Chain A
Amino acid sequence: MHLYAIPLIFALIGLVLYTVLAGADFGAGIWQLTAGGGERGEAVRDHAHHAMAPVWEANHVWLIFVLTVIWSAYPAAFGSIASTLSIALFLAALGIILRGATYALRSGARSAQELRAIDMVFALASLLTPFALGAAVGGIAAGRVPLGNASGHLFSSWLNPTSVAIGVLAIATAAYLAAVFLAADAQRLDERALQSRFRTRALLSGLIAGAIAIGSLFVLKADATPIYHHLISGAGLPALIVSIVAGVLTLALVWASRFELARYSAALAVAAIVAGWALAQQPRLLPGLTIAQAAAPHDALVLVTVIVPAGGAILFPSLALLFGLLLKGRLDPHATPPTSAAPPPATVLAAVRPGLLGRSAFASLVAGAALLVFAESSWAQALGVVLLAAFIVLGFAAARPAELARHLSADDAS
């Protein structure tokens, strides 16, 4: 393995996680579209919302991660892709704005009507973003993004048979993943009716996604012949096989209502598709640009290679905590609160003498300001900053704003 290929592996891992995790979020939005009205529809929509609300932001960050790895490790490829595929990426971004906004809005909705309107926007945005991102990937796979600042065609780079096929596949996969995940969540919550509804949806969308995947191969054959050959007979073949096997296995697991396991096999099927694309396309990143040619200078690559695992060492335990709490039902809307004896009332900070605090705050202010204005050396200035921060903290402690608010003043009482 060459140093210059390592960041690409990170980016692909990020892409797989984004496709699986955020894909399921998008899919949940798509099911809101088909939920219909009435109480049943509302139950479906509420379930989809509650399952995703705690995690969507974390899932979304995978996209940011992929972008940043590519622009630090393969800057010229990033610039070429973003400028040629600007419309597709802009549309994806619009979808992201609308989705995030509806997450924010939902908590304020009061009537069923408002909720439906919000969910409708959410659902449409959930179609737009995966399609646009899939179309962008299709444009790269079909070799329609040349090296250069907007050197590719503004429209046909992402509106072509391959792009459309991959865009549609992205939507179908998202819906499928979401159905599997939501069925598993319903099982955990012991919601029988919802569970069987999402089981049906998972089976149906699984078949459709499979059919679209097979159809896409024919599109690739006609429209993106090189990558098709590498997938069918070259480096991509093992991944293709894994993907097919995992896809069939998932359907069987869903049929047997083993949703927890189905989560993982469905994720594997998707991961295999992404891996297959990468294997079929390497060592070429864009037409006329190999991975080695696109790579950043040596030191920058080393840094990426060090920083990503280091960040991961903090990230993955935190993610495990979040998903652990989520999957154990600790973040569910109906979870029982832990019983805790309320701590005994105490007068806050009464023990500290406010006069002393106030005087130390003032002293910090004077000394800090003097250092920042007059000191030349950076150590003295750093000390000045620390003293000014101390002023804020000590001043806040001395002011005791919460105590201030206890006393009603004369004209307020009237």
Chain B
Amino acid sequence: MLAAFTLAPVQQHYLLQARQMQALSFAVHIPLVCFGIAFPTMILFVEWLHLRSGDELYRTLARRWTRVMVALFAVGVITGTILSFEMGLLWPNFTATFGSVFGVGFEIEGFSFFMEAIFIGIYVYGWDRLSPRMHLLSGVPIAIAGFAGSLMVISVNAWMNHPSGFTLRHGKVVDAHPLAALFGNGYLWRELIHMYVAAYIVTGFILAGAYAFGRLRKGSWGRYERTAFAIPLTIACLASPIQVVVGDWVAREVAVSQPIKLAALEGLGKTTKGAPEHLLGWYTDGQVKYGIEIPKLLSLLAFHNPNATVKGLDTVPPRDRPPVNVVRIAFQLMVGIGTLMALLGVYFLLLLVRRRRLPQARWFHLAVLAAGPLSFVALVAGWVTTEVGRQPWVVYGVMRTSAAVTGAKGIPVGYATLALVYLGLAVAVAWILRRLAKAPLDLPEGSPVHGSGAPA
């Protein structure tokens, strides 16, 4: 009998801790991943500027950023490894049941990690040792692998949210079509692009924020610092208005294929025709209290029709509903922060068009400084929306998270240990970044770094 060779669901007291442990591991990994995606492109651009102009300043900047990238990459690698282990340590039933369906996605991802790690080795240790052109070329696969890696991991997540491509019999997958499962749903592309743009926003604002901080503290503000500030800032400011459009595109797919998630995002208790949108507020007893109501907006946004019917949470029994307030607050945080950052971006771009100069106002630098951590909050909030909004399912509509969890004892011990280790890791990363920032700038003598030097 086939079913004999599968794992059976077990009783696990500490499901919540297992979920929190998973969430913690993601919250640590994902911001690092943003740097893995966006940083190589920025560094390559600066190195290319150096090759084009021969200006040593760009070389210095690219080298200093490279050092930061290596440190963050190392931490990205280990936190990603933890996630791979957790697929088995926390969710063995999930992997044992569906590994044959989604596993190939991670396998291809593994190859892209290989390329990333190999070329990071060559790029980082090849400064000064490879010819300048070869060196620049050796960085290109890093940027490509960053994209390919996210494509694959997101294809898995998209499949978990929109499962297809398999036949289940007695709890065992008897027929699997991984390619159809991973790439056969349109949701993948929406999620991927939203995440990819987010990576540029997060990396751009965090980097620019670091230099804005230096300026606010009246640190040196030479051409070096201005360049290091302007490049990531421009990228983030171009990307953040885009993100609003892309986010709306994502939300409309959620409305169609995960109506219960949408109802949780919006706190919609009952199925409603011409559903209103609520800003802020708190969800209790099937409705949002203390919120600002905008009539018919939800129907308009989700279905482009003010009188469209939007399904409410009451379409499924309570045990099939996600924790509404967690999801809703996370969603509103993301959208709120995203809107503010988009406004900041538009201001910057308008100033560029009208005056062709960098903003000078103190408030602008303060805003950029705040945008760094806020973009990180938006990123994690977005993932909370997606993942917690999918609950109680780990594979939407097919497998419950409680059926996926391990039967092993000691989850709280593992959780506490990992939390402590990650705390130490955070301290260590902060330490190394400070050290790297404080290393003296080794700009060549006589280069026009300070002063307003006319374009050389």
Interface residues, chain A, with chain B CB atoms under 8 Å away: 53-55, 57-58, 60-61, 63-65, 67-69, 71-76, 78-84, 86-87, 89-90, 92-94, 96-101, 103-105, 107-108, 110, 147-151, 154, 289, 293-294, 296-297, 299-300, 303-304, 307-308, 311, 314-315, 318-319, 321-322, 325, 330-332, 335-338, 340, 342-348, 350, 358, 365, 368-369, 372-374, 378, 381-382, 385, 388, 391-392, 395-396, 399, 401-413
Q: Are A303 and B179 in contact (CB under 8 A)?
A: yes
Beta-carbon contact of A395 and B238 below 8 Å: yes
Assess whether A57 is in contact with B120, with CB atoms less than 8 Å apart: yes
List of B residues within 8 angstroms of A98 by Cβ: 421
Contact flag A83-B5 (CB < 8 Å), given A297-B176, A369-B245 = no
Selected interface stretch from B126-134, B257-265, B270-278, B331-339 = B126-134
Q: Are A347 and B178 in contact (CB under 8 A)?
A: no
Let me know if B410 is at the binding interface, CB within 8 A: yes
Q: Contact: B121 with A72, CB < 8 Å?
A: no
Complex: A82 Cα to B120 Cα, angstroms: 30
Work out how many contacts link A and B, with CB atoms closer than 8 A: 373
Chain A residues contacting B408 (CB-CB under 8 Å) are 83-84, 86, 150, 154
Bound CA–CA A94/B86 (angstroms): 12
**Chain B residues, Cβ within 8 Å of A84:** 408
Residues of A within 8 A of B110 (CB): 61, 64-65, 68, 311
Given contacts A101-B75, A154-B410, A304-B104, contact A79 B81 (CB under 8 A): no
> How far is B96's CA from A110's CA once the two chains are assembled, in angstroms?
47
Let me know if A96 and B233 touch, CB within 8 A.
Answer: no
A78 touching B99 in the complex, CB below 8 Å, given contacts A331-B126, A342-B54, A395-B238: yes
Question: Is B186 interfacial (CB 8 A cutoff)?
Answer: yes
B53 touches A345 (CB 8 A): yes
> Do B432 and A107 have beta carbons less than 8 Å apart?
yes
A65-B110, A86-B89, A108-B435 given as contacts; is B74 within 8 A of A103 (CB)?
Answer: yes
Quick one: closest B residue to A411, CB to CB?
Answer: B360
Q: Are B428 and A105 in contact (CB under 8 A)?
A: yes
| A-contact bits for B339-374, CB 8 A (1 contact / 0 none) | 000000000010011001110100000000000000
Partner of B89, one of A80, A82, A331, A358: A82
In the assembly, what is the distance between CA of A293 and CA of B431, in Å? Answer: 50
| Measured CA separation A206–B410 after assembly (Å) | 38
A57 engages B406 (CB within 8 Å): no
**Chain B residue contacts of A96, Cβ below 8 A:** 78, 81-82
When the two chains form the complex, which single residue of B55, B101, B109, B417 contacts A300, counting CB atoms closer than 8 Å? B101
A27 to B245 CA separation, bound complex (whole angstroms): 51
| Distance of A101 Cα from B428 Cα, bound (Å) | 8
Q: Does residue B174 face the partner (Cβ distance < 8 Å to A)?
A: yes
Within the complex, the shortest CB–CB distance from B5 to chain A, in Å, comes to: 5
Cross-chain contact B111 with A314 (CB below 8 angstroms):
yes
A294: chain B residues within 8 A (beta carbon): 5
Can you list the 10 inter-chain pairs with the closest CB atoms, starting with the nearest?
A: A82-B88, A72-B103, A79-B96, A75-B99, A296-B100, A100-B78, A108-B435, A57-B117, A405-B226, A150-B407
Contact partner, B75, options A104, A321, A369, Cβ 8 Å = A104
A-contacting residues, B105-151, CB 8 Å: 106-111, 113-115, 117-122, 124-126, 128-132, 141
Say whether A71 contacts B88, CB under 8 Å.
yes
CA distance A317 to B17 in the complex (A): 43
Which of B58, B88, B451 contacts A402 (CB under 8 A)? B58
Contact B9 A149 (CB under 8 A): yes
7 intermolecular pairs with C-beta atoms under 8 Å apart: A67-B85, A86-B408, A150-B409, A321-B118, A335-B128, A401-B230, A404-B230
Decide yes or no whether B294 CB sits under 8 A from chain A. no
CB distance from A209 to the nearest CB of B (A): 26
**Nearest Cβ on chain B to A115's Cβ, whole angstroms:** 13
Q: Which of B65-73, B317-325, B375-383 lies on the face that meets chain A?
A: B65-73
Closest A residue to B74 by beta carbon equals A104
Q: Cβ of B70 and Cβ of A107 under 8 Å apart?
A: yes
Tell me how far the C-beta of B389 lies from the nearest C-beta in chain A, rounded to whole angstroms: 22
Q: Is the interface of B mostly helix, strand, loop or mixed?
A: helix
Q: Chain A residues with Cβ under 8 A from B238's Cβ?
A: 391-392, 395-396, 399
Tell me which residues across on chain A come within 8 A of B89, comparing CB atoms.
82-83, 86, 89-90, 93
Per the bound structure, the CA–CA distance linking A345 and B448 in Å amounts to 13
For residue B62, give the distance in angstroms from its CB to the closest CB of chain A: 12
Q: A303 contacts which chain B residues (CB < 8 A)?
A: 104, 178-179
Q: Is A83 a contact partner of B407 (Cβ separation < 8 A)?
A: yes
B77 and A75 contacting across the interface, CB-CB below 8 Å: no
Interface presence of B456 (CB below 8 A):
yes
Cα-based distance from A335 to B9 in the complex (angstroms): 57
A404 touches B356 (CB 8 A): yes
In the complex, are the beta carbons of B107 and A304 less than 8 A apart? yes
Contacts of A402 in B (CB 8 A): 46, 49, 58, 227, 230-231
Q: Known: A388-B245, A402-B58, A406-B455. Is A396-B234 also a contact (CB below 8 A)?
A: yes
Is A401 a contact of B75 with CB atoms below 8 Å? no
The chain B residue sitting closest to A110, CB to CB, is B435
A79 touches B178 (CB 8 A): no
Using A82-B92, A107-B67, A343-B52 as known contacts, list a sample of 17 further A-B pairs with CB atoms less than 8 Å apart, ordered by residue number in A: A68-B110, A71-B99, A80-B92, A82-B87, A82-B95, A108-B71, A300-B178, A307-B108, A311-B110, A314-B111, A330-B129, A335-B129, A346-B53, A373-B248, A388-B242, A404-B352, A412-B360
Contact B96 A395 (CB under 8 A): no
Q: What is the bound-complex CA distance between A199 and B346, given in angstroms?
A: 64
Q: How far is the CB of A326 from chain B (nearest CB, A)?
A: 8
- Residues in B with CB closer than 8 Å to A99 are 78
